[in-house]
Amino acid sequence: MADKPKVNLNSVSDLKNATDDAIQPYMKTLGFKQSNTLTDIRLAIGFTACAIAAATFYYDYTLGWEKTKVYTLYAVIAYFTLNTLLTWWMWWVEGNKVYIGEREGVKVVLESHTDKFSPVYELKVTQTVNGKTNTTTSKNSFSGWFDQLGYFVEKPFMAFLQNSIPAISEPTKKKK
């Protein structure tokens, strides 16, 4: 049981995070290729802001305050702007997206949500096939895939995903 995550059953945040983390490996087994573009952009913005702060510190340390105070002003403005952009990016562009993937021309975007004190996991699935977009929402209690000790149980969660994501269940229906 060491490889299965154990979470505090009284923490909705822990339950949601463990559930979100289980999506990517399962989708990979189904042949979906995850897109990391949103994360890459977030990292680029964050690292750029840190590089500006580090460079400002270095020049101030080596040259002194009097020679760098004008550059420090510009660096502070740039740092503030980049962190404002980063906050906007995380709230408005990424939002609740936990997975973006594609398989054979089918793009799937998964967004998860839970209310603060509610043990219900809500999954919004946006699927794009041949330019047509379809959005569905599924809900289920965390008790559906966590046992009484707080260990994650894969099979019930996979069944929930299979019932929630049309791109997964449609190929299964065609085989029958």
Domain ranges for the chain:
12-35+96-175, 39-94
Nearest to 81 by CA among 55, 119, 48: 48
Give the predicted TM-score (pTM) of the model. 0.85
pLDDT digits (tens, 9 = 90+) for 12-47: 999 999 999 999 999 999 999 999 999 999 999 999
Distance separating alpha carbons of residues 93 and 81, to the nearest angstrom = 17
CB neighbour burial string for 39-71, b if at least 16 within 10 angstroms, e if fewer = eeebeebeeebeebbeebeeebeeeeeeebeee
pLDDT digits (tens, 9 = 90+) for 135-172: 999 999 999 999 999 999 999 999 999 999 988 766 54
Residue 168: per-residue pLDDT: 79
Residue 106: per-residue pLDDT: 93
pLDDT tops 60 at residue 1: no
pLDDT digits (tens, 9 = 90+) for 53-66: 999 999 999 999 99
In three-state secondary structure terms, 133 is: strand
